[in-house]
Structure 1
Amino acid sequence: MTSWWVAVIAGFVVVLAVAALLSVLIVLVRVIDRRVVAVRDTLAAAAANTASTSLIPETASRVDAVLAEGLEHHLFLGRART
């Protein structure tokens, strides 16, 4: 009779341990799901931020043109003052 109660108690402990581990697993899966969504949203934002990178060379050439024009004005005004 004693071994019967030991087996019942051991089975109950095993069931509680399995339930606790499954609860932990469910919590971890939910955390992973939330973080996957956050990573996906971050990657989408990064793609949106870099969508116009093809305009960088055009912008650089126009900035160079503006700087060259400013240098010409500076040199002209420097000559005009003397």
Structure 2
Amino acid sequence: MSAMDETLWWVAIIAGFVVVLAVAALLSLLVHFVKIIDRRVAGIRDTLQGAAENTQHTALIPETAARVDAVLAEGLQHHLFLGRVLGKVKS
């Protein structure tokens, strides 16, 4: 085996080692980024579940609005009645 062959073998071994290190570093980065993405997806899932829980009773909004309107109408009737009664008392 000549010196040139031995040098080429060492270059190939070193190049292979560098490639293995680069692949290991890239895979480590990939694992790190996947963990970050997984955490953020879980956070989004939790936020969406919270939003669903906050809006599960939205069907009651029209009924509540109708009852508030009824209370306001009743209050207006009382106001008008008291205005007429108290207006007569002052005169």
Matched, 1:63 2:80: no
Matched, 1:32 2:37: yes
Q: Is the partner of 1:53 in helix, strand or coil?
A: coil
Question: Which residue of 2 is the match for residue 8 of structure 1?
Answer: 13
Question: Which residue of 1 is the match for residue 82 of structure 2?
Answer: 77
Query: How big is the shift at 1:78?
Result: 1.9
Question: Which residue of 2 is the match for residue 49 of structure 1?
Answer: 54
AA aligned opposite 1:56: I
TM-score by length of 2: 0.82
Query: How big is the shift at 1:80?
Result: 2.2
AA aligned opposite 1:12: F
Distance 1:51 1:31 in 2: 30
Query: How big is the shift at 1:55?
Result: 0.8
CA RMSD of aligned residues (A): 1.1
Query: How big is the shift at 1:81?
Result: 2.6
Q: Which runs of 4+ in 1 moved over 2 A?
A: none
Distance 1:16 1:33 in 2: 26
Query: Unpaired segments of 5 or more residues in structure 1?
Result: none
